[in-house]
Structure 1
Amino acid sequence: MKSGAFNLVGKSHGLIKLQEHSHLYTSNELVPFPGRVFKIDRTIPYSKKNIKQLGMKKANITTRNFPNP
């Protein structure tokens, strides 16, 4: 993280940053990437109520620069 090469990594793989100060990238196509890759099936508003409605007993949220209400 200290090298600050995040913009270079995204550009070299044709990715778009989700937010200027995050290190999360997105793409419509699956591309080879030197890191963790996730496929998003769907999105829901972030709240305990919505997570409980999914029928999940436990969810781990791991990210940076995300306001936790």
Structure 2
Amino acid sequence: MTCERCNGLMVQERICDLEGRSSSLCVDGYRCLLCGDLVDALILEHRKRSTASAESIQFTSPRMPRLVAA
């Protein structure tokens, strides 16, 4: 698996929430060896929802005219 952020190698890791902010204390996920990005199932689900809603938005405003040097 490659990192979406830097294309580095992602390795499987057990991610534990020691401060108890989530419902489960430990989950399986992936960590990038280059940039340290963490990804788990919940993060991937939120990213999928986010990109699906962004693709459905259509822009209706006209394009900005090009500037021409005088």
Q: TM-score range by the shorter chain?
A: under 0.3
TM-score (norm 1): 0.23
The structure where strand makes up a greater share of residues is 2
Greater C-alpha Rg: 2
The structure where helix makes up a greater share of residues is 2
